[in-house]
A = this chain, B = another copy of it.
Amino acid sequence: MVKKMIVDCDAGMDDASALFLAAKAHKVGVLELVAITTTHGNTTLNNVVRNVARTLTTANLNQIPIYRGAHTSLVEPVVMDDPYHGSDGFGDSNHDEEPDLRHLQQEHAVNALVRLVKENPNEITLVALGPLTNLALAMRLDDQFASNLKELYIMGGNVEGIGNITVSAEFNFHCDPEAAFIVLQNTRCPTYIASWELCLHRAKLDWDWRINTYGGVDSAQCRLMNKIEAQTIARKYFDTYIVCDQLAVAAAIDPGYVTQKSLHYATVELSGNYTRGQMVVDYGKKIVGKTPNVYLIDRVDIELFKKMMLWSLDAPSVDYTPPTE
């Protein structure tokens, strides 16, 4: 039986690229993409829904059900002013066609998560690529939700106190610190974290590869990525091409690509004049009475990752085959 995956996302450009990875794995049959649930984050919920629909259609997978989720953070709405993803979450790109929303569902994403996990106990791999609001709400609506998950992959948090949106917080955790706290406190399945420092320091891709190799594939997916990342490529905010959400999905598809991980107790600072939203990792076992709850992804196989990225765009003659269970 293939792995059943739900992706919760706030697409977002890297979410789109990550969805192409999941979509490809679905199409080649190594996993079943059960649903996409959406959340506020890189842009408004409405934009996220549209961006997800556009991405799935581009991947020829518009039959995957999409669910509308949380419109705002659990406790304190954050002023969303994300310069990176543009006002539409897709790099302020223009598209000739409206996205196909026929498979957008009436059921709320949180209720769908609760229902799908209850219907498939210990079978769902959940991959969270945005603020963790939907997951937190699902955990609070159903106290069995966490223990019925098979595994959880999260892009979010930081492991050395390096923030990318505030001085101390990573964007997804910053957007909803209480949700991140709830998820880390209550997770009961193997949980993997692709942190901001993993993205920033240990998964660098050079711009030439992005532009000429990844960006040179002749496929609809590549054309979408090139269109929505046109500003990113033009502005080069960082010295290298930074990937984020893709790292979490790649880990969920191919465990072999994670070459080093470490098990720790981690939580989230909710107070603090500077550190609200920071992930706190108990490297030195200083917090009494806590057992490790997350695997930090410390190192990844970049060469393998690059193959997976090309494979996700239907690039020809890529030497990559994902593992089956």
**Which of A48-56, A78-86, A156-164, A212-220 is the interface stretch?**
A156-164
| In-complex Cβ contact of A274 among B70, B142, B167, B280 (8 A) | B280
Contact flags (1/0) for A252-275 with B, using CB distance below 8 Å?
Answer: 000000000000000101111111
Task: Give A62-92 interface residues, CB cut-off 8 Å to B.
Answer: 70-72, 74-75
Known contacts A271-B273, A272-B275; decide if A281 and B161 are in contact (CB<8 Å). Answer: yes
B166 touches A75 (CB 8 A): no
Q: Which of A148-195 contact B (CB under 8 A)?
A: 160-168, 178, 181-182
Within 8 A of B (CB), among A229-269: 267, 269
**Interchain nearest-CB distance for A271 vs B (Å):** 5
Check A269–B270 contact: CB distance below 8 A: no
Query: Smallest CB–CB gap between A172 and chain B, Å?
Result: 16
Please state if B168 and A280 are interface contacts (CB–CB under 8 Å): yes
State whether A280 touches B74 (Cβ < 8 A): no
Among listed A93-101, A202-210, A282-290, A305-313, interface-contacting one: A282-290
B270, A72: Cβ atoms closer than 8 Å: no
Q: Is A221 an interface residue (CB 8 A)?
A: no
A57 within 8 A of B: no
Q: Quick one: given A165-B286, A166-B286, A286-B165, are A269 and B274 in contact (CB under 8 Å)?
A: yes
Residues of B within 8 A of A181 (CB): 75
Instruction: Considering the complex, give the chain B residue whose CB is closest to the CB of A276.
Output: B272
Q: Is A163 touching B286 in the complex (CB atoms < 8 A)? A: yes
Whether B74 and A74, one on each chain, are in contact in the complex, defined by CB atoms closer than 8 angstroms, is yes
| Contact between B141 and A137, CB atoms less than 8 A apart | yes
B161 touches A284 (CB 8 A): no
The reply on A278 being an interface residue by CB < 8 A is: yes
- State whether the Cβ of A140 lies closer than 8 Å to any Cβ in chain B: yes
The answer to whether residues A161 and B160 also contact, given A70-B140, A271-B271 and a CB cut-off of 8 A, is yes
Q: Which chain B residue shows the least CB distance to A45?
A: B143
A167 — which chain B residues lie within 8 A by C-beta?
280-282, 284, 286-287
Set B71, B137, B178: member contacting A178, Cβ < 8 A: B178
Given A137-B141, A269-B274, A272-B269: A280 and B178 interface contact (C-beta under 8 Å): no
Contact residue among B71, B273, B283 (Cβ-Cβ distance under 8 Å from A270): B273
Known: A74-B140, A164-B284, A275-B280. 9 other contacts (CB 8 A): A108-B142, A160-B161, A163-B284, A165-B286, A166-B286, A167-B287, A178-B178, A270-B270, A270-B273
Closest CB pairs A-B (n = 9): A161-B161, A272-B272, A160-B160, A275-B275, A167-B286, A274-B280, A271-B271, A167-B282, A75-B178
